[in-house]
Structure 1
Amino acid sequence: MTLHLVELPLSLRALHLWAGERKLGAGFDEGVALHHLIGEVFGPATLQPFRLLVAPRARTGTLYAYAADDANELRKRALPGLTPAHAAVIDLERLRSLPRPSSAWSMGQRLGFDLRIRPVVRIASDLHGANNDGKPVSFRKGAEIDAFLATVLRDRENTREGAYLDWLAARLGPAANLDRTATRLASFQRSWIQRNGRRVEGPDAVVHGTLTITDPAAFAERLARGVGRHRSYGYGMLLLRPPQKGIRC
């Protein structure tokens, strides 16, 4: 299967209006809105993983995604069921794609990347202790928690960046090795998301870095599947870039 990198312009204002009319939940959750929109237009999980990039103060954004079909096939699939409300948000005429065949990847190949992640883990047993601010916290087995908080509660010394890069390295293997000297936590915030009718707060991070491919077939699959959890809500898409320069000794 040949993977395709898809690029789709959209109107941010129209997206907000569409989500509000659909009453997708309390407040506006960009990931939930896009999850429902692209699922309705192209079919469930057709454009996944995806990432919305918006310039500062812009009124439009660009959705990037990986798909099994190229732009022409995606357009044919979308047109029969497209509604005026959908068309107000996305511009199908400007939908474009480029192939990302598995033959493009080779052992030892170095690639830069830009990746938005929600670095969380599900704990295998009850976990108790104090968070990074010294406040007592307690979680039951199966809870989804911040990967950095998990290391703090397990009395392991680490920085937030270190914990998130450990998390990422584990999820890239065996497809690729993370170059820690050329990878950094570019941004971090805590954000609220909606899942199964509940609002959940957690980490929202962007990592810029470099990796080395160790298994080309597994790397092609990792591109198609994405990294980590919440991949169908705008996290986990590896946007490839030229390799980064080393940033630390």
Structure 2
Amino acid sequence: MEPLYMIQCTLDPRAFMAFAREQNLDPGRDELDLGYLGHAWLKAAFGELAPAPWRLFMPRRSMVTPPRILAYSSHPVEALADHLDRFGTPSVAAVCPSENIQGKTMPTEWPMERRYGFEVLCCPVGRKAGKGPEMDIYLIRADHSSENHLDRLDIYRHWFRERLHNNPGVQVVEVEVDSFRLGRILRKTQNRKRKEVRAMRPQAVFRGLLEAKDSESLLALLQRGVGRHRAFGFGMVLLRPA
């Protein structure tokens, strides 16, 4: 299996917001989609090497800890830093100079039948009958249910288990929704005019326990992530000791 790397980019918050304004993502106009902003910066910094899945950690204003992006990548930190130094514009490099990019190689061998704690920020969405516009999975279930009161968090937990069902080497032992909010996201159409589209989407942090039967299955989960919008800050699985 190809090596998998964990990358950390420590960001300068003022340069990050300056980059947002440069990209016409001025937070003064509307609710700023930090996931789209992170996606735009990663593409500007690393091009086709941009890592995914990833997650942005923005501290509260009262905290002195700088924002950071954690990501999984098939490219080592040296390749990412070299790309930024050679091709990044000054405003892009100011957000995270190459010396502020850190990385490590993920182990290729993991104990069999071992349990791990996990945390992952997801966007639990789907499409009716597999087609049509993307919707909150809770709203899709509500349209197909005769019950008056549905448990939103229970639907999200079921959605999460379904996402990992196709990876038989990893079993979800426990999963809970640690936090949930509805947030406005920004996307751009893929046609030539590239129109902006804003929509309200669920954002849920899942925590729990999983059991990995073999190393390849666990690494495949880390490399792929969970759910949709993985290029926009969702789906990165972070592990911790059980």
Q: Same-fold call, TM > 0.5? A: yes
Aligned: 1:98 with 2:98: no
What whole-Å deviation, never above 9, does each CA across 1:12-60 have from its counterpart, x for those lacking one?
2221221111214863221111111111111236211110112222462
| Higher mean C-alpha displacement, 52-61 vs 145-154 | 52-61
SS of 1:229's partner is coil
Counterpart CA distance in 1 for 2:226 and 2:48 is: 18
Counterpart CA distance in 1 for 2:224 and 2:4 is: 11
Counterpart CA distance in 2 for 1:222 and 1:20 is: 35
Aligned: 1:6 with 2:7: yes
Counterpart CA distance in 2 for 1:84 and 1:75 is: 14
Aligned pair partner of 1:111 in 116, 136, 155: 116
CA contact (8 A) 1:193 1:201 kept: yes
CA contact (8 A) 1:112 1:242 kept: yes
| Higher mean C-alpha displacement, 53-62 vs 8-17 | 53-62
What whole-Å deviation, never above 9, does each CA across 1:146-200 have from its counterpart, x for those lacking one?
11222222217652221111111111122411122xx321111100011122101
Distance 1:156 1:91, change over 3 A: farther
CA contact (8 A) 2:85 2:93 kept: no
SS of 1:44's partner is helix
CA contact (8 A) 2:49 2:80 kept: no
* Residue 106 of structure 1: how far off its partner (Å): 4.2
Counterpart CA distance in 2 for 1:240 and 1:156 is: 38
Identical counterparts, % of pairs: 32
Counterpart CA distance in 1 for 2:15 and 2:45 is: 15
Aligned: 1:186 with 2:186: no
Counterpart CA distance in 1 for 2:202 and 2:94 is: 32
Find the counterpart in structure 2 of residue 148 from structure 1: 138
Find the counterpart in structure 2 of residue 246 from structure 1: none
Gap runs ≥5 in structure 2:
189-195
Find the counterpart in structure 1 of residue 70 from structure 2: 64
SS of 1:102's partner is coil
Find the counterpart in structure 1 of residue 154 from structure 2: 162
Counterpart CA distance in 2 for 1:34 and 1:159 is: 32
Distance 1:38 1:161, change over 3 A: same
| 1:214-229 equivalent positions in 2, closer than 5 A | 214-229=213-228
Alignment TM-score, normalising by the size of structure 1:
0.83
SS of 2:105's partner is strand
| Higher mean C-alpha displacement, 214-223 vs 64-73 | 214-223
Distance 1:149 1:45, change over 3 A: farther
Distance 1:21 1:106, change over 3 A: same
Find the counterpart in structure 2 of residue 238 from structure 1: 237
Counterpart CA distance in 2 for 1:94 and 1:22 is: 22
Amino acid at match of 1:160: R
SS of 1:148's partner is helix
Amino acid at match of 1:62: R
Find the counterpart in structure 2 of residue 204 from structure 1: 203
Distance 1:172 1:106, change over 3 A: farther
Gap runs ≥5 in structure 1:
126-140, 244-249
Distance 1:39 1:120, change over 3 A: same
